[in-house]
């Protein structure tokens, strides 16, 4: 029994078709003071001019440390947060210009999977109610058809249909994550923001969920924006990877290219910081000094210059643009010129 | 060979809850020499943190209780020491750092106040000497402008900075044994690298023995000398670190190693361990991993497998190793 | 209904036990409540008072309003279980019928309070733009001592049990609203609320389906206390002549009428007083028990 589950997308993907275009996205959270007449005393520049595009069936990995603005970016794209400025085009529609009702209708097509499998499910709703909810919101009525659809979704994500009657607390973290995925798939979305979907799971469960996400992508022709801080997982699942630092994308490239030839000093540091499960690997490690500065008053010029081992005067003054240094490989660093792109920046 | 610094024998720690009693740590044994680092690896519910709390004598009672075994530290059985003696040891000869430094620091006192407390109590020096020592310690853990930092409150510091303060507090009395419970899990990768580097430096400088508790096999590979893998309260494999990664012998260890997507991992699909960790109240008979094991056979459900030697210092609790001596030329799969 | 669906499911290799039917009585919350001594004793006390009120006409055959000069000031005994009052009316009947009205007033206050407190609290907590305005209004209400404000309102509306209900509801609503707002502020940040927004759920649906059900625990606890306070305050209002009007009995006005004869016939005031104390104590025990069991800070995280 297969109801119309998958859009026939997977079959038709030949020519890469752009599904999402994000341009110069900015989100400033105002910091206010005062009780009655609150006035703005500053702002957290969570996302500070982010642009990227995504082709159908592709996975863009978005990596960064806490405070990099990666999760905020995911929410801005879905307009779960209102951007301060910028534009988001989803399948030719200007998402930010949509009025409330139209936006609601579009929500089924762009979904989100959350990090915390405990917080993402309403503890007072059964699995059936949780997975059926998006369908109910979008006009379906309770009945045998709806039950069948929920059952189908549960089986799609590797749960059994008798799970439908249970409450979230009866499930393990990995199973809850599956429930969240089933809910996100209910309305046949084409694009899913995966916000650290495996970070809160145990190692042996992570792989199960990563595999599930990959299978679903293949089967349903999904496009992912995969947000994570674990570069290993991102490397595994992504087709392209973008690295964020303090609200900006500092480097974006095809996966193989980025991991083989990281150009931005931050990307290099990030890659070298990961402990490798191979004793005596003895790699050259770039240990960054200091910590990520506050996004309330980010450093002038290149946001990374305060920690960059290669920073020169120009970095403090001028904000480097994200420019193409090799085909499909963009980096935002003054020291990475298209001609030097082979080596990347060298120490002074 | 002289007696090891720490020797844990058949440790059993039980918790009593509304749903019944279960053993969070069940018959765990290991030894640690001076200046040696052991990594205890496991997933949530494996009992790795409770093992550390048991050694520190910090198991919350109730609901927890050490139900059996022996923990010998510097020749004394800690389980027989009166609480007063234990308190002297904690923060003195042995110290512990935790995953979330914010919850282990008291938010209403300055960092300095909290540092002085330990120093004054354990070293019996005056306030002025304690302050000097505190400045020295903060400097040691890589905190810039230590004298000013002393007067700050924990919330004025970042996570990495707080973890450094926690390490400084742990070092205050030159401990011989440091227990680190997921010390870098809450931190970003670049900060994690800083903290691990710091810990390694300090460990070498002070010749501390360290118990590093983590779920991250990468951290273990880079930091530990030997490893104990835990599953559902039991140790399933112990080995020197190189040996473990080269020749993982318990199917659980093998599964763990295979399921992590590393940076140098290629290939379309990750290999997974099927199923989930069983509830501690409904442990299967026999081997606790059998239900998830791809090599399981009927005999696995009959009795809990004992630790069986693979090569000297390398043991695993899997019946497939019975009567088996490892052919040292072969790499991974112990049984064809 | 959901069970049929499960029954017809295709077999998916189940690693865990097959579907089972769970009744609410087996839920851990109910189990813990039934094991909670305070909760159970509170519930028993309330059950006694409640049943007495419901079956007042069966238990008390004589009319609570029937005056008889010959039987004035009869002490409690075999003939008159709770004695008689200054008009010779059966105290047994009056206390039982009084229980009806007292409890109904309490219930009325609780219902109004639950509706408006939840409404104001949810609006203030969910729509941040309304928060400041609504909370300043509740602050203004809360600046007055409870009973003074209740007296003021009933005095303005005129005495009577309905007005007492309105006055008490008005007095307690801001307190409930504060409690609801506090939990809404926590729950609205949960990811399942964001998930609902991501599905295109309306604000109304989010509040009703996702936020309020998860704010119920503190609200229920609060309402048991409000119930207790209103029964007590209603007695005060009736005592002052601002509540239900004689000859209709409520515990408050029985006590008020009896106070002149407290030396000669102390049972007139003592018996409704004991009933009142029992009810309030029962509700407080119930509330404490619910708080112990429902309060997430005391709940052991499972899973």
**Does residue B209 have a pLDDT over 80?**
yes
Rounded CA separation C113/C227 (Å): 10
Q: What single-letter DSSP state applies at residue C90?
A: B
Mean pLDDT score, B281-303: 88
Q: Is the peptide bond before C111 cis (omega within 30 degrees of 0)?
A: no
On whether the CB atoms of residues B318 and B309 are closer than 8 A, the answer is no
Comparing B150-159, B224-233, C70-79, the range with the smallest average pLDDT is: C70-79
User: What integer pLDDT is reported at residue C145 of this predicted model?
Assistant: 87
Residue B102: name the closest of B159, B184, B152 by CA.
B159
Distance between CA atoms of residues B230 and B216, nearest Å = 13
C15 inside 8 A of chain B by CB? yes
Interface check C145 vs A, CB under 8 A: no
Supply the pLDDT for residue B312.
86
Distance from CA of A239 to the nearest CA of C (A): 25
The average pLDDT across C189-211 equals 92
Angstrom distances, CA of residue A322 to CA of A65, A302, B298: 19, 11, 60
Chain B residues touching C15 at Cβ < 8 A: 275, 291
Q: Looking at residue C25, what DSSP letter applies? A: G
Average pLDDT rounded to a whole number, residues A180-209? 92
pLDDT at residue C80 in the model: 73
pLDDT band at residue C11 under the 50/70/90 scheme? very low
**CA pair distance A207, B1, nearest whole angstrom:** 43
CA distance linking residue C96 with residue C108, whole number of Å: 18
User: Is pLDDT at A343 greater than 60 in this prediction?
Assistant: no
User: Out of A158-167, B238-247, C90-99, which region has the weakest mean confidence (pLDDT)?
Assistant: C90-99
Cα(A224)–Cα(A214) distance, rounded to whole angstroms?
A: 10
- Tens of pLDDT, residue by residue over B165-195, are 888 888 888 889 999 998 888 888 888 888 8
Q: Which of A127-136, B276-285, B292-301 has the highest mean pLDDT?
A: A127-136
Q: Is C156 on the interface with A (CB under 8 A)?
A: no
Answer whether residue A37 shows pLDDT above 70. no
Q: What pLDDT, on the 0 to 100 scale, is given for residue B10? A: 93
Least Cα separation, residue A97 to chain B (angstroms): 36
H helices of B95-126, where? 101-104, 111-123
- Give the mean pLDDT of A133-161: 92
Domain CATH code at residue C100: 1.10.3720.10
Q: Which of B192, B262, B270 sits opposite A277 (nearest CB)?
A: B262
Q: How far is B229 from chain A (nearest CA, A)?
A: 13
A276–B276 C-beta distance less than 8 A: no
- Reported as a single tens digit per residue, the pLDDT across B218-230 is 899 989 999 999 9
Over the stretch B262-276, which tens digit does the pLDDT of each residue have? 776 666 678 888 888
In the prediction, which pLDDT does B265 show? 62
Residue A10 has pLDDT above 70, yes or no: no
Number of domains in chain C: 1
Neighbours of chain C (3+ CB pairs under 8 A): A, B
- Worst-scoring range by mean pLDDT, A159-163, B102-106, B249-253, C218-222? B102-106
Q: Please tell me the distance in Å from C75's CA to the nearest CA on chain A.
A: 54
With both helix axes pointing from N to C terminus, report the angle between A127-137 and A144-156 in degrees, rounded to the nearest 10: 110
- Mark which residues 209-238 of A lie under 8 Å from B by CB: 210-211, 214, 229, 231-233, 235-237
Average model confidence (pLDDT) across chain A: 87
Indicate whether A85 pLDDT > 90.
yes
Residue B62: per-residue pLDDT: 78
CA Rg, chain C, in Å?
24
What's the burial of A158, exposed, middle or buried (CB within 10 Å: 0-12/13-18/19+)?
middle
Q: Is A189 on the interface with C (CB under 8 A)?
A: no
Give the model's confidence band at A340: pLDDT under 50 very low, under 70 low, under 90 confident, else very high: low
Q: Is A261 helix (H, G, I), strand (E, B) or coil?
A: coil
B324-334, pLDDT tens digit by residue? 554 444 444 44
- For residues B274 and C247, what is the distance between their CA atoms, to the nearest angstrom? 75
- CATH 3.40.50.300 domain span(s) along chain B: 6-224
Q: Which residues pair with A241 in a beta bridge?
A: A61, A253
Question: Distance between CA atoms of A216 and A201, rounded to whole angstroms?
Answer: 19
Confidence of residue C21 (pLDDT cuts 50, 70, 90): very low
DSSP-derived secondary structure for A289-335: PS-PPPTTSPPSSSTTTTT-TT--HHHHHSPPP-EEEETTEEE--TT
**Is C26 part of a structural domain of the chain?**
no
Q: What is the pLDDT of residue B264?
A: 67
Neighbours of chain A (3+ CB pairs under 8 A): B, C
Determine, for residues B256 and A210 on separate chains, whether the beta-carbon distance falls below 8 Å: no
Q: In this complex, which of A172, A208, A231 lies closest to B272 when CB atoms are compared?
A: A208
| Residue C4 CA, distance from chain mean position | 38
Beta bridge partners, B17, equal B20
Measured between CB atoms, which of C198, C209, C214 is closest to A112?
C198
CA dihedral C252, C257, C263, C265 (to 10 degrees): -90
- Summarised one tens digit per residue, pLDDT across range C262-286 is 888 888 888 888 988 989 899 989 8
Question: Per-residue confidence at A283, pLDDT binned at 50, 70, 90?
Answer: low
Tell me if B272 and A287 make a contact (CB, 8 A cut-off).
no
- Measured between beta carbons, the chain C residues lying within 8 angstroms of B18 are 28, 32, 300
**Residue B38 pLDDT exceeds 50:** yes
Sheet of strand A85-90, all strands in order from the earlier edge strand to the far edge = A39-55, A18-33, A85-90, A93-94
Q: CA C155 to CA C172: how far, in whole Å? A: 17
Confidence check: pLDDT of C301 > 70? no
Span C224-253, average pLDDT: 84
Residue A1 burial by CB count (10 A; 0-12/13-18/19+): exposed, middle or buried? Answer: exposed
Domain of residue C118: give its range.
39-70+80-294
Q: Cβ contacts (< 8 Å) between B275 and chain C: which residues?
A: 15
Are B32 and B177 within 8 A, CB to CB?
yes
Task: Please report whether residue C155 resides in a domain.
Answer: yes
Task: For residue A84, give how far its alpha carbon lies from the nearest alpha carbon of chain B (Å).
Answer: 27
Residue linked to tokens 């029962």 = C282
Class of domain B6-224: alpha beta
Nearest CA in chain C to A164: C6
Calculate what percentage of chain C has a pLDDT beyond 70.
88
- Kindly report the nearest CA distance between residue A313 and chain B, in angstroms: 24
Residue C6 belongs to a domain: no
């Amino acid at each position: 029994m297969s109801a119309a589950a998958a859009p026939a997308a997977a079959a038709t993907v030949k020519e890469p078709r752009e599904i999402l275009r994000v341009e110069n996205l900015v989100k400033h959270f105002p910091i206010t003071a005062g009780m009655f007449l609150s006035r703005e005393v500053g702002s957290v520049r969570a996302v500070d001019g982010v642009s990227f595009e995504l082709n159908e069936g592709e996975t863009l990995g978005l990596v960064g440390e806490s405070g990099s603005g990666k999760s905020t970016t995911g929410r801005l794209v879905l307009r779960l947060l209102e951007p301060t400025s910028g534009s988001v085009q989803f399948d030719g529609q200007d998402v930010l210009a949509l009025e409330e009702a139209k936006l609601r209708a579009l929500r089924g097509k762009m979904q989100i999977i959350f990090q915390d499998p405990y917080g993402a499910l309403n503890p007072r709703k059964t699995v059936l109610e949780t997975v059926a909810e998006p369908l109910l919101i979008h006009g379906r009525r309770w009945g045998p058809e709806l039950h069948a659809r929920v059952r189908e979704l549960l089986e799609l994500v590797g749960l059994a249909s008798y799970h439908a009657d249970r409450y979230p607390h009866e499930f393990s973290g990995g199973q809850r994550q599956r429930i969240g995925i089933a809910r996100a798939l209910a309305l046949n979305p084409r694009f899913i923001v995966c916000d650290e979907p495996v970070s809160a799971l145990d190692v042996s469960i992570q792989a199960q969920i990563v595999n599930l996400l990959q299978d679903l992508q293949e089967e349903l022709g999904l496009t992912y924006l995969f947000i994570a801080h674990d570069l290993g997982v991102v490397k595994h699942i992504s087709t392209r990877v973008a690295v964020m630092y303090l609200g900006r994308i500092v480097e974006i490239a095809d996966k193989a290219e980025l991991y083989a030839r990281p150009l931005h000093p931050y990307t290099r540091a990030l890659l070298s910081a990961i402990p490798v499960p191979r004793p005596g690997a003895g790699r050259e490690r770039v240990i960054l000094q200091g910590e990520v500065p506050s996004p309330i008053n980010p450093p002038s010029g290149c946001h990374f210059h305060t920690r960059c081992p290669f920073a020169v005067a120009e970095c403090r003054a001028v904000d480097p643009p994200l420019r193409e240094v090799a085909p499909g490989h963009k980096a935002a660093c003054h020291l990475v010129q298209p001609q030097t792109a082979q080596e990347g920046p060298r120490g002074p | 060979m002289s007696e090891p610094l720490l020797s844990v024998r058949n440790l059993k720690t039980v918790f009593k809850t509304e749903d019944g009693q279960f053993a969070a740590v069940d018959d765990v044994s290991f030894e640690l020499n001076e200046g040696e680092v052991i990594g205890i690896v496991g997933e949530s519910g494996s009992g790795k943190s409770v093992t550390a709390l048991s050694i520190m004598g910090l198991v919350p009672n109730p609901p927890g209780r050490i139900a059996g075994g022996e923990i010998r530290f510097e020749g004394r059985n800690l389980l027989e020491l009166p609480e007063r003696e234990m308190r002297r040891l904690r923060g003195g000869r042995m110290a512990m750092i935790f995953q979330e430094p914010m919850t282990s620091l008291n938010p209403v006192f300055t960092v300095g106040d909290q540092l002085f407390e330990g120093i004054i109590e354990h070293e019996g020096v005056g306030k002025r000497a304690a302050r000097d020592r505190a400045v020295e310690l903060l400097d040691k853990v890589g905190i810039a402008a230590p004298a000013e930092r002393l007067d700050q409150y924990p919330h004025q510091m970042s996570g990495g900075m707080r973890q450094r303060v926690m390490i400084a507090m742990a070092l205050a009395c030159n401990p011989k044994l440091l227990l680190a419970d997921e010390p870098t899990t809450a931190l970003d990768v670049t900060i994690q690298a800083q903290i691990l580097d710091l810990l390694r430096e300090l460990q070498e400088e002070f010749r501390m023995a360290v118990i590093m508790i983590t779920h991250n096999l990468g951290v273990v590979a880079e930091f530990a000398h030997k490893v104990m893998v835990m599953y559902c309260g039991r140790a399933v494999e112990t080995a020197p670190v190189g040996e473990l990664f080269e020749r993982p012998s318990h199917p659980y260890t093998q599964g763990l190693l295979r399921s992590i997507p590393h940076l140098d991992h290629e290939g379309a699909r990750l290999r997974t361990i099927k199923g989930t960790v069983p509830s501690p109240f409904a442990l299967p008979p026999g081997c606790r991993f059998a239900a998830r094991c791809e090599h399981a056979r009927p005999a696995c459900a009959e009795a809990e497998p004992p630790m069986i030697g693979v090569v000297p210092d390398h043991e695993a609790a899997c019946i497939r190793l019975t009567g088996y001596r490892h052919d040292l030329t072969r790499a991974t799969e112990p049984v064809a | 209904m959901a069970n049929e669906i499960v029954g017809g499911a295709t077999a998916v290799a189940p690693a865990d036990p097959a579907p089972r039917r769970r009744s609410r009585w087996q839920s851990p919350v109910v189990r813990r409540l039934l094991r909670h001594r305070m909760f159970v004793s509170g519930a028993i006390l309330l059950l006694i008072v409640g049943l007495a009120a419901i079956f007042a006409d069966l238990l008390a055959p004589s009319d609570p309003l029937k005056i008889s000069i010959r039987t004035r000031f009869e002490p409690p005994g075999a003939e008159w279980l709770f004695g008689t009052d200054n008009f010779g009316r059966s105290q047994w009947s009056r206390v039982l019928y009084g229980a009806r009205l007292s409890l109904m007033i309490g219930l009325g206050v609780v219902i109004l309070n639950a509706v408006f407190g939840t409404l104001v609290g949810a609006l203030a907590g969910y729509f941040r733009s309304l928060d400041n305005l609504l909370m300043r209004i509740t602050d203004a209400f809360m600046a007055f001592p409870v009973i003074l404000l209740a007296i003021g309102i009933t005095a303005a509306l005129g005495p009577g049990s309905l007005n007492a209900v309105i006055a008490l509801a008005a007095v307690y609503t801001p307190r409930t609203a504060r409690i609801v707002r506090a939990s809404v502020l926590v729950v609205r940040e949960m990811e399942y609320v964001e998930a609902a927004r991501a599905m295109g759920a309306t604000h109304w649906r989010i509040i009703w389906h996702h936020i309020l059900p998860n704010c119920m625990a503190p609200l229920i606890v609060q309402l048991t206390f409000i119930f207790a306070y209103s029964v007590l305050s209603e007695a005060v209002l009736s005592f002052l002549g601002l509540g239900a009007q004689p000859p209709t009995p409520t515990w408050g006005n029985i006590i008020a009428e009896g106070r002149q004869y407290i030396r000669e016939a102390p049972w007139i005031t003592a018996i409704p007083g004991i009933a009142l104390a029992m009810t309030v104590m029962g509700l407080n025990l119930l509330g404490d028990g619910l708080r112990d069991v429902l309060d997430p800070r005391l709940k052991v995280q499972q899973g």
